[in-house]
Amino acid sequence: MEQIVEWIRQPWPWYVAGPLIGLTVPALLIIGNKSFGISSSLRHVCAACMPANIPFFQYDWKKEIWNILFVVGIFLGGLIASLFLSNPDAIVIAASTQQDLSELGIADFNSLLPADIFSWANLFSLKGLFFFVIGGFLVGFGTRYAGGCTSGHAIMGISNLQWPSLLATIFFMAGGFVMTHLFLPLIMSWVGF
């Protein structure tokens, strides 16, 4: 049993993790003609918790309970993995990436999220305003504007040969590159890094 736990703790190679993620698409379609995506679960939760006369939330959300359970499972799986199955080895980050991040003022590479940005101490600061509030708003707005999130478009939509999903994924990637290389250095210098 200990060997299995040790195997699970190690990072899985792309040729194992990628096909497992990719197989969720046909599995969901075969099991019940379901579409893979995460952002739609927020709509289902809002429809369940805030029944108002808003047409966007007036539908039978109970038919989509599987999507809410899927997201709860992702959260619980992440919690279990971080508490009991975390890899004790240091996170491997390319030297060139470390140098680029150091130039932006990020020096802590001990976890998946840089503590220099994502910490409880920064939550109610200017950094927190930009990275948690404004960043969260932009992600939510972009998801709604694009009609889905990256997982829904890039995994489910492209595998179903949907042109809008290919277009959305291209713009997700372009937006990420523009943000990383043009806007992030400006924001980092402005918020005090």
* Most confident segment among 53-57, 82-86, 166-170: 166-170
Query: By C-alpha distance, which of 75, 29, 66, 73 is closest to 44?
Result: 66
Distance from the first to the final alpha carbon of the chain: 46
Strands (E), the chain: none
> Where exactly are the structural domains of the chain?
1-89, 93-193
- State the average pLDDT for the chain: 85
Q: 119-146 pLDDT, tens per residue?
A: 888 888 888 888 888 888 988 888 888 8
pTM of the full predicted structure? 0.71
Mean pLDDT of 77-85: 86
Q: What is the pLDDT of residue 193?
A: 64
Q: How confident is the model at residue 178 (pLDDT cuts 50, 70, 90)?
A: very high
With beta carbons less than 8 A apart as the criterion, state whether 34 and 156 touch: no
The residues, any chain, with a CB within 8 Å of residue 188's CB and separated by 6 or more, are: 104, 105
Cα torsion 144, 149, 150, 154 to 10°: value is -100
